[in-house]
Amino acid sequence: MFIGCQKGAPKKVEPAPSIQTPVEAAKQKRAGGDRYRIDAAASQFTARIGAAGALSVFGHEHFVAIREFSGEARLTPGALETGSLQVTINAGSLAEAGPAFSDADRKKIDHDIHEQALELSKYPQIVFSSTSVSAKKLGEGQ
């Protein structure tokens, strides 16, 4: 399960002028909405991996900090179902952040995550592209 938390409001990004083919224009229209780029410097991104998850061979719950990532969301107010989210993660930036481990344990866990679970030498990036977008109102104006 991935959990992302942003500290500030996302910044709207105006698209750069470009020449698009009809297919690219149609894709952009379907993705629709305003474009927001993730501000990684103002954001936190953590994966909580349960004992039955991808790291189950290690027998403990893990909280993995994702330190290097980028991405963008496209959202249309009132029509969120037409939106999209894409995030690219530098797989080598994942590091155990759980409080239950010593520094030596964290170093071993990080090595195992990179080499065994993620096969970092083969797959240096993780790319997530949403298949749907939804929202839940947390409070007034949120």
Instruction: Give the CATH number for residue 44.
Output: 2.40.128.110
Does the residue 39 lie in any domain?
yes
At 107-136, the pLDDT tens digits run 999 998 899 889 999 999 999 999 888 877
Q: What does the pLDDT read at residue 78?
A: 80
Does the residue 13 lie in any domain?
no
At 6-62, the pLDDT tens digits run 444 455 545 444 444 444 444 444 456 789 999 999 988 898 887 665 555 556 788
Closest to 27 in 3D by CA, of 70, 86, 77, 69: 86
| Residue that wins the pLDDT comparison between 76 and 114 | 114
Whole-prediction pTM: 0.65
d(CA 26, CA 64): 37
DSSP string, the chain: -EEEEESSPPEE-PPPP----HHHHHHHHHH-SEEEE--GGGEEEEEEE-TTSTTGGG-S-EEEEE-SEEEEEEE-TT-GGG-EEEEEEEGGGEEE--TTS-HHHHHHHHHHIIIIIS-TTT--EEEEE-S-------STT-
Q: What does the pLDDT read at residue 137?
A: 79
Q: Tell me whether residue 64 is exposed, middle or buried, using C-beta atoms within 10 angstroms of its C-beta: 0 to 12, 13 to 18, 19 or more.
A: buried
Does the residue 40 lie in any domain?
yes
Q: What does the pLDDT read at residue 107?
A: 93
Q: What does the pLDDT read at residue 57?
A: 54
Mean pLDDT for the stretch of residues 78-103? 90
Does the residue 103 lie in any domain?
yes
**Number of separate domains in the chain:** 1
Does the residue 30 lie in any domain?
no
Q: What does the pLDDT read at residue 53?
A: 52
Does the residue 88 lie in any domain?
yes
Does the residue 138 lie in any domain?
no
Does the residue 75 lie in any domain?
yes
Residue span of the structural domain in which 56 resides:
2-7+35-129
